[in-house]
A and B are shown apart, each in its own frame.
Chain A
Amino acid sequence: MTITRLGQPIIATAVSIVVRASTQAVLDALAVRGAAIVKSQLRGRVIDAVDAGGQSLLGGTSSARVATLLGQGLDAMDGYIGRYLPQLILTAVATPLIVTALLLADLVTGITVIITLPIIPVFMALIGMATQAVQRRQWQQLGALAQGFHEVVQGLSTLMVFGRHHRQTDRIAEVTEGYRRRTMSVLRLSFVSGFTLELAASLSVALVAVSVGIRLINGDIGLALGLFVLVLVPEAYLPLRQVGTQFHAASEGIAAADDVLDLLETAPPAASVGHSLTVTTRRPSTTDRSTVAPAPGSAVEPHPKPALSLRELTVRRGERLIIDRLSGEWMPGTVLAVTGPSGAGKTSLLGAVLGLVDAEGEIELDATPVAAADRASRIAWSGQRPDLTGGTLDSIVALGAARVDSALVSRSLQWAAADDVPRDTELGAAGEGLSGGQAQRVALARAYYRAVERSSRVVLLDEPTSALDAETEARVIDGVRALADDGRLVVVVTHRRSVMAAADAVLALAAPCELPAPDSDSVGTESQPLDIGRGRR
């Protein structure tokens, strides 16, 4: 009966339903996958840029900015790549097809749709223009308001110290209420565009429906054609309406994409670091021990070759001269203290020796020139910040080693006076979970591990005791001495008098604030090449 009478249309309907369902599923899956792939690629390219651009991207705030951009920033692109773009393409393909079908089926309806269709983008544009400026301003204010609760929670212990925590409940309620009022005034505008879209589509459909209805009554068209047209008309408006709906989510993603692309474009020359200090060297204030021979009883045989030689080492950051033609040679068995005020180039000096900072001039290890890229593998280093990585304590101390030598980890921790850190400690991402002093000593242990594991003859330590108390510092100083006596050159950047007193030589870098502009020739001629150490020259 039904089946025999309507067999063919039912089958056709069933087939079209299956086709529609499956294409819909595939479209969704592909769109999200596409977004994920694009995000992976952009992430990879930014990391490539960091690798290539090196420290120019890694100056303080910029690394935080890059990290945020790669996280939340890229996620904002989901809406743009995953939804907006496919919808845009779909609209460009589907809308003309549907309109053509309508035109072929029923000319009057086709023409009505062609006339009413542009109303939607025109409305959107008009509303957009009218509200955009207001909305942007209000969203910015909202950012500040949204912080309110966050601030109270973050600063809770400070509030408790001053006994202000009890009255914060009112403040939270008040701030949230303010947030609600402002957000609602933004939303009232945002939702108007959705309302207009829906209304425009509804009214257009109603317009077509009424004309179809009247022509049906008059018998101008048949029921089949009337239904066909009426079911198809909303589909003609649907893609365009969805473009409008996705637009807001998309604009955030476009902004994020712009930021990422900006970053990729500006990455290599972004070296405009704001230091106004440059460096020159002056004849250092040497300590008594700097000129004497190795301490009697020292186990070290004086090595015939200097462990580290610098010739005319010059470091620039952008236009600024940080280190100007520094020369010197230091023998193994020496503890060399590097001092000087902030910005004098102490850290840059270590960076240049390590090969992480671009430098002119020659740097030799064991009297052999070594390319910048190969120096890090022959030098043990501990930076100014502990910069611990996440993971188990063993894996942190043995960073970069092919396998973990547990006994050496124990020795390293003991050497760095870090044996109070429980061995089963596991640190969160970026080495969170230790106090400042503990982190510093673990970072020292890491440098010691590397020095011993790689038999490095040069060890660079940047402010190794800045977070340590006097007693622990004394232990570390003893360790540094022992490391040098083992046949190594240990270069220690420090402010501590106790460390300087224990050094064989002191290299004092001056912040040349009083000097003329860094790029003028006079700086170069006034500065004196450095010659210090107990090696020969």
Chain B
Amino acid sequence: MSASVERNGAGTVDRAARRPVLRAALPPIRVFWPALALGMLASGSAVALLATSSWLIARAAEQPPILFLGFAIVGVRAFALGRAVFRYLERLVSHDAAFRVLGTVRVSVFRRLLPVAPDGLNGVRRGDLLTALVRDVDALQDLPLRVLQPMVTALVVSGLAVVGVWWISPAAGLTVLVGLAITTAAAATVMAALSRDADARIAPLRGQLADAVIEYLTRWETLRAFGADAERRERVVALDAQLRNAQTRQSAAAGSVAALFTLGAGATLLAVLVVTDPVLASGSITAPVFALLVLVPLAVFELVAVLPAALSAWWRVRASADRIAAIVPSSPPSELPTVSSSPAVVPEGPLALRLRGVTARWPGESRRALGPVDLDLAPGDRLVIEGSSGAGKTTLAHVLVRFLDHRGEYLLGGVDVRTMHPDDVRRHVVLCEQSPHLFDESIRQNLLFAHDTATDDELLGVLDRVGLGEWCRARGGLDAPVGERGRLVSGGEAQRIALARALLTEAPVLVLDEPTANVDPDRAESLLDELLGAAAAPDRAIVVISHTPVADRLATSRLHLAAPRE
């Protein structure tokens, strides 16, 4: 999971690649200034509350007429209320801004995905990578919420407080400034030395432990049968101990950083006391002001104590940005089709395919994955492609629908596909994927997105053709849900829905990639029979890639794909 991304990505990403990702996660100032302003008001109120109340108490002890204290009493009440109200508003506004940013970040990463998807993503042949990518994109919303805002608020408000103290007594102001600087620097050093290393280890360790546990649980039978269960269990225990170790280290670091701030606050308080005492004695400040000067540093340190958390949030955000930059290249690799400026139009009506000496390779892989392949396909043909795994069957399917670019000649209706827009090619050559994605919606929505003007009768008609008519009616019709990632349908039903989708487009060329890959072995042959029977039409050309034997009556020709030659 995340561990492998780290392995692939960490060293290779440079600042230049990270920057555009981070910039997309920055909210425009007009969205974000209310949150910043409210945060400063809330923190400012906290400092002012302590200042006015300590002045008030000290002044009251001098027993002046209560009239002289009215202003301070109102101030204490106002700041107490203000702190709570501003904090509440700030949390609302900043979360709102962060969610708005999330929208922009998602759209910007998606825009970046489009030209390289699906085959240009680094390491995308690993299924869980996309899940990790989504998590990283969502982690970027921490940049304004947990990095920028606390940092800016803490620096501005504590800066103002220092200026205020300085104005009353330069010696006290300098002392507070030095105290803050030393404490923050010490905390950052401790974090960089102890916690950063542990932080960096924890995420991969957590991933490895999860992987090891999942492997142990899902492979339990195999491990037991091969007598390897004890050894794997020890691995789980060892990883668990390593993770615990790293977490303990991290918490020790966090604890020492918190302690540092407490120590710093206390030391600064004492230092201000010692430094300001002669000033008090000289009579240039009054006793209530003295009380204020001594106590305000406490509130300032409380503000600055959020900086370590903001710093580690920044490290996390940066790591996420690096991973996104590593997975989604900013420009499409050369193995992907390019779009010409004035694309040729794909001829309408039945289409013939012609491939001569076609080869292809996957982005980032040095080995050729396909070919050379020659094939001819006329309308009405049903070509069965066989070959051992690794011969490039799926690669051929991706070349046919222009997910991957190729070398050699590939003509569609007599026209070179390179001159056409890949989207346009895919409107005429439709792929039924090995693992078709079903969206967590109703059956109707899962069909409609292939052909959004289709009527219910047309949808039910096509479901009947692929043998799902009864199945759909038994579930209460087109509104029945398919579940998250098609959880509520079996592998065979998913393939039938995928074929129904493809048939709805009425494309003249259909490519079926291993339709029986996720189906029970004893149902595979009958499913393939039915799928091909439903898809066959006199003006439609069909390419079916299958390891399950295809009956002779359903195939008009066969092509055996040999392992690629260089």
- Chain A residues with CB under 8 Å of chain B are 1-3, 5-6, 10, 13-14, 17-18, 20-22, 24-29, 31-33, 36-37, 39-40, 43-44, 47, 50-51, 54-55, 57-58, 63-64, 66-67, 70-71, 75, 82, 144, 147, 149-166, 168-169, 172-173, 176-177, 179-180, 183-184, 187-188, 191-192, 194-195, 198-199, 202-203, 205-206, 209-210, 212-214, 216-219, 222-223, 226-227, 230, 341-342, 351, 354, 356, 376-377, 379, 381, 383, 387-390, 399-400, 417, 420-421, 428-433, 435-438, 441, 446, 450, 463, 466-472, 495-496
Contacts and interface: CB of A to CB of B under 8 A. Distances in A.
Interface in B261-296: 262-263, 265-267, 269-270, 273-274, 277-278, 281, 291
A389 B222 contact: yes
Contacts of A159: 437, 449
A399 to B, nearest CB: 5
A202 B73 contact: no
B479 interface: no
A168 to B, nearest CB: 7
A166 B110 CA distance: 10
A24 B95 contact: no
Nearest to A181: B99
B11 interface: no
9 nearest CB pairs, A to B: A17-B266, A32-B251, A429-B211, A400-B226, A437-B389, A155-B437, A28-B255, A180-B99, A466-B521
Contact of B126 (A20, A54, A428): A428
Q: Which of B389, B423, B505 has the most CB of A within 10 A?
A: B389
Given A64-B218, A217-B64, 9 more contacts: A17-B262, A24-B258, A156-B113, A160-B117, A162-B449, A177-B103, A199-B81, A437-B389, A437-B547
B53 interface: yes
B103 A432 contact: no
Contacts of B370: none
A28 B258 contact: yes
Given A188-B92, A495-B522, A63 B218 contact: yes
24 contacts: A2-B273, A10-B274, A17-B262, A25-B252, A32-B251, A47-B216, A63-B220, A71-B213, A151-B439, A156-B117, A166-B423, A183-B99, A195-B84, A195-B87, A195-B88, A199-B84, A376-B225, A400-B223, A430-B214, A435-B394, A466-B524, A467-B547, A469-B387, A495-B522
Nearest to B83: A202
B118 A156 contact: yes
B221 interface: yes
B259 A176 contact: no
B277 A58 contact: no
Contacts of A177: 103
Interface stretch (B233-241, B454-462, B468-476, B527-535): B233-241
A31 B254 CA distance: 12
Contacts of B237: 44
A438 B436 CA distance: 21
A21 B259 contact: yes
A276 to B, nearest CB: 16
Interface residues of B, number: 137
B100 interface: yes
Given A10-B270, A205-B80, A400 B255 contact: no
Interface stretch (B21-29, B160-168, B339-347, B424-432): B424-432
Contacts of B450: 162
Given A21-B263, A24-B255, A433-B126, A43 B248 contact: no
Interface of B: 1, 4, 53, 56-58, 60-61, 63-64, 66, 69, 73, 76-77, 80-81, 83-85, 87-88, 91-92, 95-96, 99-100, 102-103, 106-107, 110-111, 113-114, 117-118, 125-128, 130-131, 133-134, 137-138, 206, 208-229, 232-233, 236-237, 240-241, 243-244, 247-248, 250-252, 254-256, 258-260, 262-263, 265-267, 269-270, 273-274, 277-278, 281, 291, 386-390, 394, 401, 403, 423, 426-427, 430-431, 433, 436-437, 439-440, 449-450, 484-485, 501, 505, 514, 517, 520-524, 547, 549, 563
Nearest to B248: A33
Given A213-B56, A389-B223, A432 B127 contact: yes
Contacts of B206: 71, 75
A202 B501 contact: no
A227 B134 CA distance: 53
Contacts of B91: 187, 191, 194
B63 A463 contact: no
Contact of B240 (A32, A43, A436): A43
A447 B95 CA distance: 55
B426 to A, nearest CB: 6
A142 to B, nearest CB: 11
